[in-house]
A and B are shown apart, each in its own frame.
Chain A
Amino acid sequence: MNTIIIDGLSFALPLFIMAIGGIYCERSGVTNLAIEGLQGFGAFCGALFAVCIAPYFAGDSPVPFYLAMVFAFLGGTLFSLLHAMLCIRFKANQVISGVVINILAMSLTEFMTKQINASIFKAASNKFVLGVSARVTVPGISSVPVLGAVFTNLYPFEPVIALIAVIAWYVLYRTPFGLHLRACGDNPHAVDAAGIEVGKVRLIAVLVSGALSGLGGICFAYSISANFSSNIYSGYGYLAIAALIFGNWKILPTLGACLLFGFARSGGYELVKILEMPSSYQDLVMVLPYVLTLLMLVFFGRKNHSPRALGVIYDKGAR
């Protein structure tokens, strides 16, 4: 039971932070299919930085990890500028821009990882090896039954994500900027009439999405694979998109969706272990979250509605 909660949370939280970024972006009216690419590029930047500075720190020092998070944050922001430029400045089709950015991120990071490994580290390798990050247990609370598992064996990124998520929730629902952002996705002309620049609000929303995606990416790189390689592109970004649509573009229901994905996944793995089935049965279990999502959408999907101006390029002159 504890393992299910611990592993489920460590999967759900990075997913959640990427989905929050997606919510910001889509609530402002910009479709974001680029999360997959943004998280990969962010993870690449973070991992590259961590590998570069690793020799200056002791093996178990947590500093490179936190710095990697900062750089993943920045890297994701930088790459999302591309999405913002295409969608807002160049008025490109937003879905296509997202797909293109995913393709570009995948090929660019793969190419640069190989090139940098060959030229700087003199090694023929297609990945950056990161340490496995240390895990912490909060003394006291962790001994409470069931609930205690939430505070056991935490990755250091989990409290950071929880903190950012709270801030993100507050900004989106309790500040004027959040109001403007949500209005941009539903009625951009009203926002414009109120004297606020739609393009600027959307730009910030896309950048936030990039930053949070990059953060989620480096968390996956540290927790699941302990290295950066093209394995980072195994669909976390798309899963985050599914979670946010499932959560009806609202932060709290999206958290529920992410937890569902996380626990279905860890619970499934645990089930396979307990029943002593061969590991190939894991695949069957992995289907669960996706089938669940589809079924839930079938039953509750009709109440869902996307932001009204989602995917529509803002045109001042349009009526």
Chain B
Amino acid sequence: MKKHDLIPFFTVLLSLVLGIVVIALLGKNPFLAYYNLLQGSGLAPKASYAGHKGMITDFTSFLNALTPMLLASLSVLIALKAGLFNIGVSGQMLAAAFVATVLVGYSELPAVLAKPLVILIGLTVGALVGGLVGYLRHRFNINEVVSTIMCNYIVQFVASFFINVFFVDPVSRQSKNIGAASRLTLVDTVVGDYKMDIPLGILVAAAAVAATVFLLGKTTLGFEIKAVGSSSRAAEYAGIRVGRTRVLAMMLSGGAAGLAGVTYYLGYFCSMQPRVLASTGYDAIAVALLGNSSPIGIIFSSFLITVISKGSTYMSSTAGVQAEMAAALTGIILLISACGAYVRERLDRWKENR
């Protein structure tokens, strides 16, 4: 069993080797490119820095990008444990962030009140949207894959309408920037000689991961969720109320997605682009898989995927490899990791035969 937990590492390794081959075929230095990824994420020192910048500022802005990815993957994971596919993380993110932006982001509330309120609203709105999806599944037998896709579009266009009509910034064509008091990232904070972006959301994310570990491992609800996910029939036979468990799991999943939304749109960014959904919600499905569907595993997998995406800008400017290469590399990692179950089965059979 222990040995099989290494499979994700091997898939990543294999993908990175494939990436080396591709970059080398393009005539660029693959090792330099990979090192650039680390440099761009603040995990290795760059040759030179602009004023008030350094490795530590790169690293905090990396954490800033990591936060929503981690929370979104957590959201997918919770739903997955209950045997549900939450394809609608992106929509839940936007819904939560939109409400938080309108209610708190444009208000004059002091930071002490505004920041907790943003988090609370994110959690609530996300949970409501997620709960609706769960309820539709339970009450009307509507497949959650369809209802989440529909919800994504509805949220996207409704938010886009309100942004364009009421909250648009005529220059950027995005929603007006939110006030600094409600932003979950402390931008350009002077610490010593550095000016850095401090993401408060990473604390929220850490707390959410810890809460999920506790929920799934130590509580009745967690057990029920896992039971429904493994076999809803067996769970029903054991007296677990399957429908209620599914609705609760979707509410928790939506809540995590809502948190991802506020840390993304009111932290990493400070505005919303009309008619665009963040790709984070879709990437998170694969990140959750790569993390072996365990809350601790997704810390590593979202870390890796964020290093690749965050470092890609620096890589393209230094090594001359197109930044889109990073996304392609992510795709290859995810593709190979999707075959993990097959490799596991083969290993089992090989062991039995020995």
Contacts and interface: CB of A to CB of B under 8 A. Distances in A.
A77 interface: no
B289 interface: yes
B199 to A, nearest CB: 25
Chain A interface residue bracket vs B: 35 or more
B328 A96 contact: no
A63 interface: no
B154 A114 contact: no
A128 to B, nearest CB: 15
A90 B324 contact: no
A306 B146 CA distance: 12
Nearest to A94: B338
Interface residues of B, dominant DSSP:
helix
B327 A290 contact: no
A297 interface: yes
A108 B325 CA distance: 8
B146 A280 contact: no
B328 A104 contact: yes
Contact of A96 (B157, B160, B285, B324): B285
Interface in B147-185: 147, 149-150, 152-154, 157-158, 160-161, 164-165
A312 to B, nearest CB: 13
B294 to A, nearest CB: 15
B332 interface: yes
A178 B348 CA distance: 36
A104 B332 contact: yes
Interface string A77-88: 000001000100
Contact of B341 (A92, A111, A238, A283): A92
B20 to A, nearest CB: 16
A319 to B, nearest CB: 15
Contacts of B157: 283-284, 286-287, 290
Contact of A104 (B141, B147, B335): B335
A291 B154 contact: yes
A6 interface: no
B334 A104 contact: yes
Given A104-B335, A284-B157, A302-B141, 12 more contacts: A90-B341, A99-B87, A104-B334, A107-B328, A278-B165, A280-B164, A281-B161, A287-B157, A287-B158, A290-B153, A294-B150, A298-B142
Nearest 6 A-B pairs (CB), nearest first?
A107-B327, A104-B331, A280-B164, A111-B324, A283-B161, A90-B342
Interface of B: 26, 85, 87, 136, 140-143, 145-147, 149-150, 152-154, 157-158, 160-161, 164-165, 274-275, 282-283, 285-286, 289, 322, 324-325, 327-328, 330-332, 334-335, 338-339, 341-342, 345
